[in-house]
Structure 1
Amino acid sequence: MESRPIRGIKADAPYFQAMFRTRLANRLQALGYDIRKTKDDFEITGVPERTIKEFSRRTTLIEKTADLLGIKKPETKAKLGATTREPKKEGQTWDSLVRGWEDRVTLRERHAIHETVAHKEIPSPNSPTPLPLTGQCGTASSAPPSSQNGNW
């Protein structure tokens, strides 16, 4: 069987990312979360704006770096992600990660998040129900762009 070239997979990355984001949004809605569409993605309604910004520091850093360098093209900005990434901290436990995340939100933000998620029914991870995909990505039967050119 012929293997697919890596560049074909890379070329289809935006398609697969859009499929993932659409499926995630659909699953969150099925669990009872309200979401709001943003320019390129979505956010869970009820999560405070400051919290969203606090946990979007990489995007902010990339945007600031792009502005400083005069970069406007999204493709070039995407490449900045690899060059601006902070190194991962080795040896962190799950508990220390959670404590670090908790330290980044205020008591008021924590309360707002709790109110957003408190009455949601969380299904068993062993029995997820796939949802039909809708929105910008099409449906589950949609093929990635390169397959439409005979490269799939």
Structure 2
Amino acid sequence: MTLKKFLPIVFLLISTFSFAQPSDEKREQIKQLKVAFITTELDLSKDEAEKFWPIYNTFEEKQFEMRHEKMRSFKKRMDKESVDKMSEKEAAALLAQMEDNEEKMLQLRKKLSSDLRPVIGSVKILKLRKAEDDFNRKLIKQIKESKK
């Protein structure tokens, strides 16, 4: 990625976390930044983009739901006191639910790959995975730096 393409993304990341905003607004800004970052990294043609984004957005919505809705209920039951008071049977049931959710996340990721393969090919799917990881690392770094 060229420096000219990278600098606007960096400035957007910095400005995103410079101001305190409601979480929905932050989430929307992060989503916009992620779209811009992925678009730049994958260098999608117009035809690819028209097919790619509906598939990817559906994946993101389902992934968000799984992570935030289901995992939130797990986390509520995972504080130290709750875990210490759980019976072995209750702990085994919770662990099974968590493992089931992780398996569903894996299946969702596999479905994304199989749905995208005819649209953008395997090479760009690998670039997508790298772009997602790079974006997340930069986002975490920016959050840490803004808290200093």
Shorter-chain TM range is: 0.3 to 0.5
Give the TM-score taking structure 1 as reference length.
0.32
Higher helix share: 2
Give the TM-score taking structure 2 as reference length.
0.32
